Amino acid sequence: MSYGLLKGKKGIIFGALNEQSIAWKVAEKCHQEGAEFILSNAPIAIRMGELNGLAEKCNAEVIGADATSIEDLEKLFDAAIAKFGKIDFILHSIGMSVNVRKGKHYTALNYDWLEKGWDVSAVSFHKVMRVAYEKDVMNDWGSILGLSYIAAQRTFPDYNDMADNKAYLESIARTFGYFFAEKNKVRVNTISQSPTMTTAGSGVKGFDAFFNYADDISPLGNATAEECADYCVMMFSDLTKKVTMQNLYHDGGFSNTGVSQKVMEKYQK
Ligand SMILES: NC(=O)c1ccc[n+]([C@@H]2O[C@H](COP(=O)([O-])OP(=O)(O)OC[C@H]3O[C@@H](n4cnc5c(N)ncnc54)[C@H](O)[C@@H]3O)[C@@H](O)[C@H]2O)c1
């Protein structure tokens, strides 16, 4: 069902890799709701070829950009300006930790890898907004979103240095959100999503266990990628104009639940 919530809105969606990706679902829903957008990802991800199918389906252009490269981002935003003039929304759905990928323990982090993951997962959010800000590409009352995880607030041992990256990401949303609101009423938020079966998600050690645990604790169950996409659409729509500088939990109630009946039953002797 379409409500036309994003009719006439233009944007850039970063981070659709394959059908499981949260950004993939966001692109499908944004298209359904009437938005036009550019799909961007790291050149290596684009070479994998899956993105073309999504682009065709959504009538979107694909433009590669390493989100850690100001030069790539400048080219991408210039292309967006040439295509759309100004834009209304940006989704930053990007994350990667070399320490997680290579199974390095948190207590023995490789700091070169930490810096790489921090740049990709957190600083790139600043870089994307910086280029958008300097090029004055956002329409008034536009909306910018990043995706986060509750490991920014609570310890999930195997989430490793991604926890620190997410804390940094959420802080960037608050601080840049202030300046973007002052400049042209643009809002900036992060959505803290439930564990979701994607390439990035399932790369975390023991992912199945904390997916199932979160599902058992959350009174509404884990939020799916499609449900996350619905929330993103709402945040890009004009129905949320005064929501800014927030970390918004989209987790079926996980963040405010101490224990659930389901978990209690597992421990009752
Ligand atoms: N899957 C989960 O459990 C979960 C939960 C909460 C938050 N998130 C967050 O959601 C976001 C999207 O992840 P996902 O779960 O859809 O996984 P995903 O693997 O489908 O998406 C991650 C994306 O980041 C892109 N990327 C990596 N390096 C890049 C670079 N240098 N430049 C541009 N793009 C780059 C990848 O190509 C990929 O498209 C991430 O920020 C992730 O941390 C995921």
- 210 has pLDDT over 90: no
Task: Tell me if 205 is assigned to a ligand binding site.
Answer: no
- 2 part of a folded domain: no
Do the bridges between strand 187-193 and strand 10-14 make them parallel or antiparallel, or are there none, so unpaired?
Answer: unpaired
State the pTM of this model: 0.98
Please indicate, yes or no, if residue 257 is contained in any of the structural domains.
Answer: yes
Q: Is residue 263 part of a domain?
A: yes
The answer to whether the annotation marks 22 as part of a ligand binding site is: yes
Q: Please check whether residue 73 lies inside any domain of the structure.
A: yes
Q: Whose CA is nearest to atom 22 of ligand 1?
A: 94
Contact by Cβ (8 Å): 50, 129: no
Select from 26, 47, 93 the residue to mutate for testing ligand 1; criterion: most ligand atoms less than 8 Å from CB: 93
232 located within any domain: yes
Q: What CATH number is associated with residue 208?
A: 3.40.50.720
**159 in active site:** yes
Which pLDDT belongs to residue 237? Answer: 98
Establish how many alpha carbons lie within 13 A of residue 84's alpha carbon, considering only the half-sphere containing its beta carbon: 24
What per-residue confidence (pLDDT) applies to 1? 80
Q: Whose alpha carbon is nearest atom 42 of ligand 1?
A: 95
Q: What is the pLDDT of residue 205?
A: 80
Q: What is the pLDDT of residue 29?
A: 98
User: Count H helices, E strands: the chain?
Assistant: 12, 7
Catalytic choice (3, 106, 133, 159): 159
- Contact between 229 and 26 under an 8 Å Cβ cutoff? The reply is yes
Distance 95 CA to ligand 1 centre (A): 4
Residue 34 belongs to some domain of the structure: yes
For residue 204, what pLDDT band results from cuts at 50, 70 and 90? confident
Query: Known binder of ligand: residue 194?
Result: no
pLDDT for 202 equals: 83
pLDDT of residue 104: 97
Residue nearest to atom 9 of ligand 1 (CA): 147
Residue 5 falls inside a structural domain = no
Q: Which domain holds residue 161?
A: 10-268
Q: Which 8-state DSSP code applies to residue 51?
A: H
pLDDT at 20: 95
46 CB near ligand 1 (under 6 Å): no
Structurally, the chain folds into a number of domains equal to 1
What pLDDT was estimated at residue 201? 84
The reply to whether 3 falls in a domain is: no
269 confidence band (pLDDT: 50, 70, 90):
confident
- Calculate ∠ Cα 127-40-191, nearest 5°: 65
